Amino acid sequence: MAKIKERISFSESQKIVEQIEKILKRENIKFGIYGSYIRKEDTIGDIDILVNERDYEKAKNILKHFSFYERVPLCMDKRSMHTHP
C-alpha cells in the first residue's frame, strides 16, 4: 500500500497511479490497484496495490522511493501479498 500523508483529490491520485503503473509495467511486475482509488472517491488516503508474492520485495523496493510511500503492516495469503492499514 502506498500511504499518503494526507488525503488528496482523485485527480492528484491519478497522476500517482500513472507513475506506479508505468514503473511496475516497465519492471514486468503484474499488479492490481484497489480500494478508494478504483471506487473513484472524491479524496484518496491510500493506494492499495496487490502484487504476487514473488514480486513483492521488488515492488516494495521500487515504490519506497516515492515521497508518499509509508510502510504499513502486511498480510499475505497463498496467492498474493497485500497491505492493510
Mean of pLDDT values over 2-25: 84
- Please give the residue range of the domain that contains residue 65: 2-83
Which residues are CB-neighbours of 27 under 8 A, at least 6 positions away? 58, 59, 62
- pLDDT digits over 26-68, tens only? 999 999 998 888 899 999 888 888 888 899 889 888 888 776 6
Report the Cα 28 to chain-centroid distance in Å. Answer: 15
Whether pTM > 0.85 for this model: the answer is no
Per the structure, how many domains does the chain have?
A: 1
Query: Which residues lie across from 51 on neighbouring strands?
Result: 31, 81
Is the pLDDT reported for residue 69 higher than 70?
no
Predicted pLDDT of residue 68: 62
Predicted pLDDT of residue 2: 53
